[in-house]
């Protein structure tokens, strides 16, 4: 398959059980139908596991917001190592 941007041959990699097409030249990423939904579902599962699940607005209204180190997004973690390295 060719990159729609620069016509380079797309490469395929697997991240979190989902095949992702990406261009080694322009670093564009293309997903097939349903793959974005799978990635979002998996990211939600991961973030729920870290926080112990979602809480209602009333539960968290009076709690102070804990300060944490800024994390990279799940997409940047997922695509780490593609292309430029």
pLDDT tens-place string over residues 27-62: 999 888 999 999 888 888 877 776 555 454 444 455
Residue 65 pLDDT: 60
> What does the alpha-carbon distance between residue 9 and residue 17 come to, in Å, rounded to a whole number?
22
pTM score = 0.52
Region 4-32: mean pLDDT is 91
Output the average pLDDT for the chain: 75
Residue 28 pLDDT: 92
Q: Burial, 65: exposed, middle or buried (Cβ in 10 Å; 0-12, 13-18, 19+)? A: exposed
Say if residue 23's pLDDT is above 70. Answer: yes
Instruction: Give the start-to-end residue ranges of the domains of the chain.
Output: 1-52
1-52 folds as Ubiquitin-like (UB roll) (3.10.20)
């Amino acid at each position: 398959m060719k990159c729609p941007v620069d016509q380079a041959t797309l490469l395929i990699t697997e991240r979190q059980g989902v095949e992702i097409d990406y261009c080694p030249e322009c670093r564009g990423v293309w997903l097939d139908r349903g793959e974005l939904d799978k990635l979002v579902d998996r990211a939600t599962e991961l973030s729920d596991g870290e926080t112990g699940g979602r809480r209602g607005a009333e539960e968290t209204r009076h709690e102070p917001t804990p300060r944490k180190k800024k994390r990279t997004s799940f997409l940047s973690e997922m695509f780490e190592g593609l292309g430029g390295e």
